[in-house]
Amino acid sequence: MLAERIERLKRERNAIILAHNYSLPEVQDVADFVGDSLGLSIQASETDAEVIVFCGVDFMAESAKILSPSKKVILPEEGAKCAMAAMCTPRMIQEMKEKHPGAWVVGYVNSSAECKAEMDVCCTSANAVKVVRSVEVKEVIFVPDSNLGLYVQSQVPEKKVHLWPGFCPTHQAFTAEMVRRAKEEHPGAEVLVHPEARPEVIALADMVGSTEGILRRALSSDTKEFIIVTELGMVHRLEKEAPGKRFYEIPGSVCPTMKMVTLGSIVRSLEELGPEIHLDPGLIERARIPLERMVAIGR
């Protein structure tokens, strides 16, 4: 069985498997840790393992390498790239800095290492509001997710947030109509929404949060039914952690690149110890500062 081979290879290689909440159910089930981007970054910075196998997308594995540069970090599928991260370049950030001198660049971790090197502080959806609130200056440039940036602006009105027009295609596809229909079908359910969704979808939410925030709410709420407005993989995690409750996804909510890592590709990557993430040491040094600030701010 593939799961048993993974278990054996993991011990032989002194490896840890980190998986994002959107990864395939069977991948989540063999992982040592499953969580949101912030939780995964914290795990990557604290692990004693020599090898980190990252079941997620490019920016997550790169962040692990930046936070643990002496470790071998493996992304089992090289093509597993975040579509939103690809919408931003270092040049674009430099141009925004020229337009808004004095503003801090608060960058969503869903971005390349080269973009992180241009940022003052990183954030995830779990702590974006907290990070923007904490910066010393009144103006921030928020890249690349405009929906998360708009949400942050609504929560932190005392700051001016300059937005970049990036988005996540999976979350952008959710419409207010879809959520209204789900509410009609499940009138007693709470609506839990990821902040990468459009503002009119967020307006229908009972709670807005990162994938881990959504799990925490589902666990702590007295409600038994939830409409989950984020990627489908989250439902597996929720059903596993809160077996007595019911979760309804919005049809079509799939991030294709988050589904690329399979049990087969994990076996191969542990056998071959690759494909490995390689980043220039100078780039790691620059990108590490905003990422470590993010980890220090925490949830």
Residues found near ligand SF4 in the complex (CB under 6 A): 57, 82-84, 110, 168, 170, 196, 231, 255, 257-258
Q: Is 9 or 88 the residue whose CB approaches ligand 13P more closely?
A: 88
Could you tell me which residues are beta bridge partners of residue 107? Answer: 122, 143
- 124 contact, one of ligand SF4, ligand 13P, none, CB 5-8 Å limit per kind: ligand 13P
Residue 40 beta carbon to ligand 13P: minimum distance, rounded to whole angstroms: 8
Residue 233 beta carbon to ligand 13P: minimum distance, rounded to whole angstroms: 10
Q: Is 72 or 198 the residue whose CB approaches ligand 13P more closely?
A: 198
Residue 137 beta carbon to ligand SF4: minimum distance, rounded to whole angstroms: 27
User: How many residues of this chain bind ligand 13P (CB under 6 A)?
Assistant: 12
Residue 13 beta carbon to ligand SF4: minimum distance, rounded to whole angstroms: 26
Cα of 156 vs its chain's centroid, Å = 21
Question: Quick check: 257 binds ligand 13P (CB under 6 A)?
Answer: no
Read off the tokens for 40.
Answer: 């995964």
3-state secondary structure the chain: CHHHHHHHHHHHHCEEEEEECCCCHHHHHHCCEEECHHHHHHHHHHCCCCEEEEECCHHHHHHHHHHCCCCEEECCCCCCCCCCHHHCCHHHHHHHHHHCCCCEEEEECCCCHHHHCCCCEEECCCCHHHHHHHCCCCEEEEECEHHHHHHHHHHCCCCEEEECCECCHHHHCCCHHHHHHHHHHCCCCEEEECCCCCHHHHCCCCEECCHHHHHHHHHHCCCCEEEEECCCHHHHHHHHHCCCCEEEECCCCCCHHHHCCCHHHHHHHHHHCCCECCCCHHHHHHHHHHHHHHHHHCC
User: Position 131: which residue type?
Assistant: V
Question: Quick check: 23 binds ligand 13P (CB under 6 A)?
Answer: no
Residue 289 beta carbon to ligand 13P: minimum distance, rounded to whole angstroms: 20
Question: Quick check: 21 binds ligand 13P (CB under 6 A)?
Answer: yes
Here's the x/- map for ligand 13P, 144-183, by CB under 6 A: it reads as ------------------------x---------------
- 43 contact, one of ligand SF4, ligand 13P, none, CB 5-8 Å limit per kind: none
Question: Quick check: 110 binds ligand 13P (CB under 6 A)?
Answer: yes
Of 118-126, 131-139, 259-267, 270-278, the window that binds ligand 13P (rule: CB under 6 A) is 118-126
Which of positions 204-243 make contact with ligand 13P (CB under 6 A)?
Answer: 210-211
- 21 contact, one of ligand 13P, ligand SF4, none, CB 5-8 Å limit per kind: ligand 13P
Residue 75 beta carbon to ligand SF4: minimum distance, rounded to whole angstroms: 13
- 125 contact, one of ligand 13P, ligand SF4, none, CB 5-8 Å limit per kind: ligand 13P
Residues that bind ligand 13P (CB under 6 A): 21, 36-37, 110, 124-126, 168, 194, 196, 210-211
